[in-house]
Amino acid sequence: MQEIIKGIVIKRSDSGEFDEVISTLCKTGIYTFFSPGTRKINSKNAMSLSLLDFTNFEILTRNEITNLLPRLKTATLIYKFPLDYQNAEFQETLLYFLNKIKASNYLDFIETYEKLLPMVGHNKNNKVLVYLINKILKCEGIYPAYSGCVECGRQKGLIDFQFHKGGFLCYEHSTFELGVNKLNALYYLNKDFDSFDKNTTHDVVDFLKKMIITYLTEYF
């Protein structure tokens, strides 16, 4: 049998002289298949299998009797990840977390990645990265509450935000003031990317990146 899978290439492992085992992130989580001949110079499929490429895979599903890995038939590139030294940190960070995911529902992440990948390399890398790794929190079921104080539900008087506590905190439940710019950025992080982009400075995004990476690293 055959099936079509749309996903992100997250790992390539050598197998034999010319073959590979490919891991992709698709809407149901990590999907791994055997990729024959893609280390050959003249391989057509190899052009669509660079790390973080967004690709359509035509897969020959495994035989339950032989218990072999599914086998790649054709790979058709949807959008190529721009390989450039300026994008190296983005690639390394995102791959690190995508290879550690535990959940099996990543449709929201896949749809968001497809929309945002064309923006990588256009002075928005940190904003795109923060928006994507925040989606990982949602897919993994550890998404914070953005609707109000996590302790009392108050929507006014919010002064702090802590991932370990579960989201925003009001003045009655925290003595630390995070600052208006950072609180606004966290609010817009839960909205569409354009709103987040327009209402967040690069300095604040750097802060959010460190904050979310620390939380995700402890989770995984």
**Residue 1 confidence class, pLDDT cut points 50, 70, 90:** confident
* pLDDT (0 to 100) of residue 63: 63
Residue 90 is encoded by which pair of tokens? 């983005």
CATH topology of domain 87-219: de novo design (two linked rop proteins) (1.20.1440)
Q: What is the pLDDT of residues 73-94, one digit of tens each?
A: 999 999 999 999 999 999 999 9
Q: What is the pLDDT of residues 8-27, one digit of tens each?
A: 999 999 998 999 999 999 99
* pLDDT (0 to 100) of residue 197: 97
* pLDDT (0 to 100) of residue 178: 96
Question: What percent of the chain has pLDDT above 70?
Answer: 98
pTM over cut 0.85: yes
132: closest CA among 13, 55, 25?
25
CA torsion sign for 174, 180, 181, 183 is positive
Q: What is the pLDDT of residues 96-132, one digit of tens each?
A: 999 999 999 999 999 999 999 999 999 999 999 999 9
* pLDDT (0 to 100) of residue 42: 95
Distance CA 154, CA 89 (A): 38
Higher per-residue pLDDT: 150 or 63: 150
If you average pLDDT over residues 181-197, what whole number do you get? 96
* pLDDT (0 to 100) of residue 66: 59
**Residue 145 confidence class, pLDDT cut points 50, 70, 90:** confident
* pLDDT (0 to 100) of residue 61: 87
Q: What is the mean pLDDT of the chain?
A: 95
| Annotated domain spans of the chain | 2-79, 87-219
Q: Look-up: residue for tokens 């897969």?
A: 59
What is the CATH class of 2-79? mainly beta
> Is the pLDDT at 68 greater than 90, yes or no?
no
> Is the pLDDT at 49 greater than 60, yes or no?
yes
* pLDDT (0 to 100) of residue 134: 97
Q: Mind giving me the DSSP string for 156-217?
A: SSEEEEETTTTEEEETTT-S----HHHHHHHHHHTS-HHHHHHT--HHHHHHHHHHHHHHHH
If you average pLDDT over residues 181-196, what whole number do you get? 96
Please indicate whether the domains covering 2-79 and 87-219 agree at the CATH topology level.
Answer: no
